[in-house]
Each structure stands twice: as structure tokens, then as C-alpha cells.
Structure 1
Amino acid sequence: MTVADTDIERRWELFRRRGPYGLLGIATILSAAAGELTPSTSERKAAALLVIAALVLQLCWGRAGRTRTGPTPAGAVYYTVRWAIGFALTWLNPFFAFYAVTGYFDADKLLPGPKRRVRIGPFACSVVVAGSQAGGMPFRSTAQWAVFAGLLLANNVLLTVVGNLSAQEEERSRARAAAISELERTNAALQQALDENVALHAQLLVQAREAGIADERRRLAAEIHDTIAQGLTGIIAQLQAVVSTPDPAVAHEHVNRAADLARHSLGEARRSVRNLAPVALDHDGLPEALRKSVDQWAERTGTGVEFTLTGTVEDLHAEVSATLLRITQEALANASRHASASRVGVTLSFMGDEVTLDVCDDGRGFDPSAPPRRTGTGGFGLDGMRARAERIAGSLTVESEPGYGTAVSARVPLVRHDR
């Protein structure tokens, strides 16, 4: 029930409690003013006694009725006695019908039972009202009886119409109350959902932050592995060659290579600190950077390498270029460390909406389905290359077989450089 409905019900209850006093007072004043309608002294005394009886009845009911809620047998007795007093007063003076009208307003609150039985109360009141409207009781002519019958019919038609309208209004009020209650429940559920969404959003932010930190750590680890670690591996290899050769010229050549690798690794480290982009891409596009990296690797390892470029070259986004260059460097490093390959082929292909990179060797190969061998070096290998490709919505596949070499293929979206 809404606040407005509660206020209306409170006013109706106030009227039912105090209305009979007011209507009895109005009826008494009008009856006293029209004293000629009760000419005899006995009738006036009887009217006075009935008025006092009505007042006592109202006072008694006012005290006892406040403890009762809903129709009760006591309420039916009170209603009947009040009607009888009203009928008797109206018989003495038609103006007392004002008091009898009270029965129209509280029959449903006082009379127990089904609606048909409750309607008897208003019908009985309409008899008193119609008698008053017909000129007062008792009726002294046939015409007065006819007028009474017509007025009784008219009063009950009005009662029926008003009753139906009131029932429809109550039904609408109940429907509105039910809709408001449902809306309140929906709003409460919505507020609860909003609160849960806020908590979930906060949790997702924490998880996203933690995932971002973990992803950045993996990226930094892979970056160090692909730059500094590989550079140090190459330097160690060159220095070991210096130790094992007696020829000063050859040793000097290996020392120069080690120095070049050290300078290159230092540049990569500095570049990684700034923005993690490969030094090789500072001044060259991806094809030239790949060609130089392949040539440098071939010179260091003495392995035959063939670089092939197909398709229309596009100016790629820096992240795409860096990813493909790092994958190439890792694949070549694996070929030199594990495959013992004599020939390696590197192919970069621009194919419409994607770029593919293929690195194939004729080394010893391996079984891709076998668990990865742990060497204790902390290398990232194939998992690192695959993670790099997936980071930019790409993919990486590996085909290999023991004794038949290895083919690594990366496919990434062709994202052009922002100008």
C-alpha cells in the first residue's frame, strides 16, 4: 500500500469513528428547527431519549471498537442497534435520516459474512432514507407509498452503481499496490545486482592488474632471454673458440666477433630499458632487419642460411615487427644449439591481411608430442615464441620429426604502422 492509500484509509477511519457524532448532531439540530414535524410532547421526549441512546451507543462503541479489527459479531450487533435507533428517530422526524445514512459507510467494516449478506445493511439504510425522502413515516396515502417505492429503487440503483465503481477502484488500487511492490522488489534486486557488479568490477580490476603484471614479467623475461642471454651465449662461444685455437689471426677474429656481440647486446639492453623494441628495427624495416640478423647469425655459426621475401612489403606496426624478429632470432638460436643443422631457410611472406614467418632447418629434429626436455638453462624456447605470437592475436605451429629437421611457422595479423 502506498503512502497516499494509507493516508486515505486513515481519513476514512477517522470519518467512521467521528462521522456518526457529526451526523447525529446535524440531524438533531434540523429536527429541533423543524419542531412541527414532531408536534406531540411524547414524541419529542422519545426523540430526546433516542438521541441520548444513540450518543451512549457511539461512546461505548468508540471505546470498545478501537480494539477490534475487521467485521465481528459485536460489530453486527452495533450496526443493527444503530440502524434501529436511526429508523425510530426517522419515524419521529424525517431529518434524523442523516444519522441513518451512517450505515452506508461502514457496513463492509462491521458486518461479517459474504458480500450478499453485507449488502443487507445498506439496503436497510436505504429504506430509512427513502422513507424520509418520501415525506416521512408512516405513509398516509397510496401515492406516498408509490413515491417511497420509486425512491427506494432509485437509492438502491445508486448504491449498486457506486458499489461497483468502488469495487473497481479497490481492484485498481490493489493492482497498483501489487505493481508498486513488484517494482520495489525489482529495484531492490537491481540495486543488489549493481552492488555485486561493483564488487565484481573491482575484483576484475585487481585480476586484470595482476594479469598485466604477470604478462609484463613474462615479456621482460622473454626479452632478456632473446637479447642479452643469446648475446652472452654467442660471446661465450667465440671466447671458447679463442681458447681452443693456436692461430693468433683466427683468435683475433673470434675476439672481434665477441666484441661485436657484446656491443650489440649492450645496445639491445639499453633499448629494452627504453621501450623493449629491438635495436635492429631502429633504422630498418622488418625485411632488412631480418636479412641482417640472418646474415649475422650465419657468420657467427658458419651455417648456410637462405632468406626469402614474398608478397608486397608493408610498413608494419612496431609490435608486429618486433615479435616476428624475436621469433626468428629464437628459432635460429634453437637451430644452432639443438638441431646441428647445416642449412636453414627463413621466409617472410606478406599475404593480404596477415604476415607469415617460416624458419626451416635440416637438423636432427625432435618429437613435438614428447614432454619438453629441461636443460636447466631457464630458456623459453617454443613456449616463448608461441606466447609472443599469441600476444598480438597470432599463432605459432611447429612441425618436426626425429632425423628430418624442424619447421617453425608463425602467422600474425598484418597491422600497419601508425603514421
Structure 2
Amino acid sequence: MDLHKIEEKLSSYTLFIKEVALIIHNDSLFAIVYPDFNALKEAKIINIEEEIRWYAIELYNMQAEESLKIKGYKILTAPLPKTALGDVDLEALKELVSSDKESDFIRENEPDDEVYGTLKEYLSTLTKSKISPSSHLELDLDLDSLNYVELFVFIEQSFGVKIDEATFSNIMSVKLLYEYIKNARVKVTPAMPNWAEILQESIDEKLIYSPIVMSIYKTVLFPLFRLYFRLEVVGYENIPSYPCIIAPSHQSMLDGFLIESILPYKILKKSFFLAYKQVFGTTLLAPISKHGQTILIDANDNLKHTMQYCALPLREGNNLVIFPEGARTRDRKLLEFRPFFAMLSKTFNVPVVPVVIDGSFEALQAGKIVPRPRKIRVTFLSPIAPDGLSVDEITQMTKKAIESELKRNQILL
């Protein structure tokens, strides 16, 4: 296998990879990536891991043979280690990947002032990783979009400093963020963000209700799917008659349309669907999403407003359909569940209905356009009430419920 050709192909997919090397780890290909941080800053991208994963590694995996798929990756914040001759030091990379620790934590001199102390103390509530001035907020501290919104609100309330995504994309280390706050601050008064207050703020957007169009979509799609995919639906009795979050697993581009086709009309007309603007905001799909009670989001732009917009259906007593994985699986395995849906459940005290979509992966795999007539089974599982549960517990319970049902389906097959 020519690893250099694969490395070149990965780099050709995106402008955001500066260096990449492949090694064999656990008998599979493993990628180590050093991003082009300048290009990322120019593009105002703050979800770096997602950008590298979906628009480089997974694009490659979609067309690669199973034995040549990349099964793991690591994104570094420093250039790849080199030998004395200037070549990539593959042995050092193997040692780095094989180590239980991501890297040895080097204790750095830290600013000894109230601004840094306040910022670091708050960051410690968002991450379990050790924090130093050079820590990258995403790649070292594992912060995500939800954390970013909390961080932006904390900085505004505590220091009187507003930060937008464009500015933030240029200051994604603890040190740069601290320096930005220190230069712009008007106060130092620690104030913890409150999601209930954040999501109840007034916004300009209005929900577009399209009950007639939704009815037409359902009338057309349900018999078509039932015939072509031998569609089977189980667990209708688990859908509450009151507002809830419907949280399906995500196997293909068919999934949103499947849910839309099978929801009872009384539920459907009060349900809104979350989707990425990059996909459903295109010329082809924009008319469908505009009249399909769809909320389009961008993971790199105006995050606070985006999350407030996502909460609007629940604020108005409707249902929200949201895919917790945030993206469709490329290998049938569940992705990590993002906690945003669980936070909404907790904030608005509405149950989560886990939904298992099984078979749509075989019907329409990533990279394919024409669906194949494979059997699809959709199962609505028992609702998970948020009472007495943490956001993390709601997230994990939802994933485990879906995981268990998928395993049960495989045993039955």
C-alpha cells in the first residue's frame, strides 16, 4: 500500500491540512494531521475537528476499499515531529499514538492576575483536561459548540467583552483569549451562564408553519417508502401527545424524510426538523426545507443565535426532531452523541424519544445518489424524562437505548 499517495489524496480534499502522515496502528490506517491554522482563521472556522474529519478523512473513506480505510486519527496543534534529515519521524508518531496520554503536560508560566485566574477557573468547569496558556480550546481542551456559547456568554457577562465567531477563530488558545479579554475588559465580575435565560431571549426569527405542505409530503412519501423499502414502523405508542424531542440515529440522507413520512399527522404538523445549512440550504434542497418546517443551522456562525433559534419550537410548544450524532454514520457504527439535544430537554423539561432507524445505511450509503430497495425498520423507544438527570446522563441514556435496540435487531436478523 502506498501511504504517500493516500496522504496526497487527503490533502487534496481540503485547504485546511498543512501536514498529514499515515501509520499502521492496531492493524489499521491511522492519520496524524497538523492543520493549516492560518487557512482556518481566514475561513473563520472554529469547529476544526469536524472540518478535518468530514471533509478530508471521511471523504476519502467513502471511496476507499475496506482494508484501506482510515480507522482513527489525531489532530496536532504543532507540526509533525521530524528526523535529523527533515523527514516525518514515523517512530515518534507511533509512540505518540500508542501512548495512553495524548501528550506530556508541560507546566508553563501562567499570568498571575485576576483575569487569567477567572478565565481558567471557568474553563475548568467545561473540560477535564489540564489547562495551560498554550492549550488550544478545541484540540487540547475538547470544547465544542455548546461550550463555545457558554464561554462567549461568560466572557460578556464577567468581563463586559463581546466575542463573535470571526474574532474567536483567531484567538483559540487560552493565552490569546486571555490577552484579548485583558485588553478589552471593562470589569471582572464572574457570572455563570444560565441556559434557561440564554434560550428565552427574544430573537427576530419566526417559525414557518406549513401543515398543508407537511401533509402532502407525508401523503406522498409514506406509501412510496413502505413499498420500496418495505418500511416497518414500531413503537408509535411511545410518542407523547405533548412537546418532546425526537432523537433518531442517523444512517443516511433518507432519515429526515423517513421520520417526516411516518410521524402521525397530529405530531408532524407540530414538529420542526434541525438540519445543516450546508446541505439543506443548497439550491436543490432549499425550497423543500423552507416549506418543510426545517431550521437550518451553521456550526461555525452565530452559535448563540443558532441555539436560540433551535429552541424556538420548544418555546412555542412544538416538537423538535434532532439527530444527536450531528452527522450520518459512514460505517454503520453510532457516532458520539452531542449533548445539545439533552441540554434542550433539561432546560425545557421535555422528554427525549430515542428513535432507531435501521436499514437506511444499506438503502443509501454516503456518496450514493440512488437509493436501493433495502428493508428499513424504524423503532420509537420509550421516552426519557429529564427529571433528576444531568445533561450527560440524558445523552448517554439516549445513546445506550439506541445502541441496545440496534444490537437486538442484528440478533433477530
**TM-score, length-scaled by structure 2:** 0.20
Task: With the length of structure 1 as denominator, give the TM-score of the two structures.
Answer: 0.20
More strand by share: 2
Rg larger for: 1
Greater helix share, structure number: 1
